[in-house]
């Protein structure tokens, strides 16, 4: 194994320590792809992976609507309450941040590892949960914008 595998191994180890299954699984799969010599897949994963992942996440979010577990009445009742309205506003803001995060990743791919490491540290030492590197990248893009970066 070469030294260029060390960064993904570090992420894998940190994810295992933090018990972050998503990051650990992703790092392990990428390492296996690389070790098996399928490195040509990386360009496809880089160009299509986020869209595929977001589609799968959206399917999971919409599944309760499709199955009937959440009805139109449930949606209405949730939205008309003060906390429901705040939830809509927060959801819009989070989605907007995620969109900025995608653009930021494309413009600054070197930040991906740092954001993931920061997420793992937050999980390991601050009882956090992985809210997603895309939203973190969106927040970073806002802060970087304040400093003209």
Predicted local distance difference test score (pLDDT) of residue 73: 92
Of 29, 3, 8, nearest to 112 by C-alpha is: 8
pLDDT(78) > 80 = yes
- In this structure, the answer to whether residues 88 and 144 fall within a common structural domain is yes
Answer yes or no: is 109 within a domain. Answer: yes
Answer yes or no: is 54 within a domain. Answer: no
Answer yes or no: is 15 within a domain. Answer: yes
Mapped onto helix, strand or coil, the DSSP state of residue 147 is coil
Predicted local distance difference test score (pLDDT) of residue 35: 92
Answer yes or no: is 47 within a domain. Answer: no
The parent domain of residue 25 ranges over 1-39
Q: How many domains, in total, are found in the chain? A: 2
Contact 9, 117 (CB under 8 A): no
- In this structure, the answer to whether residues 91 and 145 fall within a common structural domain is yes
- In this structure, the answer to whether residues 88 and 141 fall within a common structural domain is yes
Answer yes or no: is 117 within a domain. Answer: yes
Predicted local distance difference test score (pLDDT) of residue 1: 57
Question: 64 or 136: whose pLDDT is higher?
Answer: 64
- In this structure, the answer to whether residues 35 and 88 fall within a common structural domain is no
Contact 30, 8 (CB under 8 A): yes
Predicted local distance difference test score (pLDDT) of residue 29: 94
Answer yes or no: is 124 within a domain. Answer: yes
Answer yes or no: is 129 within a domain. Answer: yes
- In this structure, the answer to whether residues 88 and 147 fall within a common structural domain is yes
The mean pLDDT of 13-36, rounded to a whole number, is 88
For 109, other C-beta atoms within 10 Å of its C-beta total: 10
d(CA 38, CA 110): 22
pLDDT(33) > 80 = yes
Residue 148 banded pLDDT, cuts 50, 70, 90: confident
**42-73 confidence digits (pLDDT tens):** 989 888 887 888 888 889 989 999 999 999 99
d(CA 81, CA 78): 6
Predicted local distance difference test score (pLDDT) of residue 53: 82
Predicted local distance difference test score (pLDDT) of residue 126: 78
Residue 149 banded pLDDT, cuts 50, 70, 90: low
Predicted local distance difference test score (pLDDT) of residue 47: 81
pLDDT(88) > 60 = yes
Answer yes or no: is 50 within a domain. Answer: no
């Amino acid at each position: 194994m070469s030294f260029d595998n060390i960064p993904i191994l570090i992420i894998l180890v940190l994810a295992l320590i933090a018990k972050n299954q998503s990051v650990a699984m992703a790092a392990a799969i990428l390492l296996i792809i690389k070790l098996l010599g399928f490195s040509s897949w990386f360009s496809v994963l880089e160009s299509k992976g986020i869209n595929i992942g977001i589609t799968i996440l959206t399917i999971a979010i919409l599944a309760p609507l499709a199955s009937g577990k959440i009805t139109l009445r449930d949606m209405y009742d949730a939205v008309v309450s003060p906390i429901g309205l705040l939830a809509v506003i927060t959801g819009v803001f989070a989605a907007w941040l995620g969109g900025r995060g995608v653009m930021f990743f494309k413009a600054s791919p070197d930040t991906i590892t740092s954001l993931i490491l920061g997420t793992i540290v937050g999980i390991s030492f601050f009882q956090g949960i992985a809210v997603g590197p895309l939203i973190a990248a969106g927040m970073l893009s806002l802060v970087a914008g304040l400093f003209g970066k």
